[in-house]
């Protein structure tokens, strides 16, 4: 019953999954860049500090959190669609490991946002520059996993 629904909805589920992924990734690439500028260019407690905090909060709450939830919901619908995932293959495992890491990174960014809000950020711009590479690497592994399907 639910399997029939998932099968007939499959192309729509996949479209909605990819749309959500794009919105989520946009935020995951942009927020650490904001943190780099926030650390390196902004005086703590000033007007610009306040403006960065607003931009960071809105990006996370209005775009990234809903996009992450939608990516998970449509992604799991794809997992339960008959014939899509065979767990004997390798790709579902590399994909699963990468999306768990991506979700961890999202939450890490959320905790760092709170540091800026409280004025307790101790991390250097360089740390945020380096962390900025993580979603890129994970995205490459994910796309190869779902498309090459080794
Ligand atoms: C968050 C949990 C996620 C789950 C449970 C999930 C699961 C899935 C599944 C089962 C498919 C179907 C594969 C197929 O029909 O061939 C799929 C497709 C896809 N996923 Fe995800 N995914 C997740 C996150 C992501 C992320 C973070 C990205 C990108 C960075 C991503 C990119 C894609 C793409 C591009 C496709 C379409 C591949 C194709 O054309 O067949 N997914 N996903």
- Residues 90-132 have pLDDT tens digits of 999 999 999 999 999 999 999 999 999 999 999 999 999 999 9
Model pLDDT, residue 1: 85
Q: How far, in Å, CA of 127 to CA of 36, rounded?
A: 8
> Is pLDDT of 89 > 90?
yes
Q: List, in order, residues 6 or more apart from 92 with CB less than 8 Å away.
A: 85, 86, 145
Model pLDDT, residue 145: 98
User: For the chain, what are the domain ranges?
Assistant: 2-148
Q: Distance from the CA of 3 to the center of ligand 1, in angstroms?
A: 18
What lines the ligand 1 site, CB under 6 Å? 14, 17-18, 21, 25, 71-72, 75-76, 78-79, 84-85, 99, 102, 139, 142-143, 146-147
Q: Are 81 and 7 in contact (CB under 8 A)?
A: yes
Give CA separation, 17 vs 14, 26, 86, 109, 130, in Å. 5, 14, 19, 22, 28
The pLDDT of 72-79, averaged and rounded, is: 98
Q: Which residue numbers belong to the known binding site for heme?
A: 17, 95
ipTM of this complex: 0.95
CA–CA–CA angle 9, 139, 111 (5° rounding): 100
Q: For 6-35, write each residue's pLDDT tens digit.
A: 999 999 999 999 999 999 999 999 999 999
Best of 78, 84, 96, 139 to mutate for ligand 1, by most ligand atoms within 8 A of CB? 78
């Amino acid at each position: 019953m639910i399997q029939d629904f998932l099968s007939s909805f499959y192309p729509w589920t996949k479209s909605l999954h990819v749309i959500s992924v794009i919105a989520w990734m946009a935020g995951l690439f942009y927020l650490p860049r904001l943190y780099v500028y926030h650390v390196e260019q902004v005086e703590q407690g000033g007007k610009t500090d306040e403006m960065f905090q607003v931009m960071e909060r809105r990006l996370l709450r209005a775009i990234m959190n809903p996009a992450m939830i939608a990516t998970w919901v449509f992604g799991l619908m794809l997992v339960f669609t008959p014939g899509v995932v065979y767990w004997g293959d390798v790709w579902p495992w590399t994909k699963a490991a990468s999306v768990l890491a991506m979700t961890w990174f999202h939450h890490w960014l959320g905790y760092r946002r709170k540091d800026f809000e409280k004025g307790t950020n101790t991390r250097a711009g360089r740390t945020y520059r380096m962390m900025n590479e993580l979603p890129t690497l994970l995205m490459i592994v994910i796309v190869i996993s779902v498309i090459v399907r080794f």
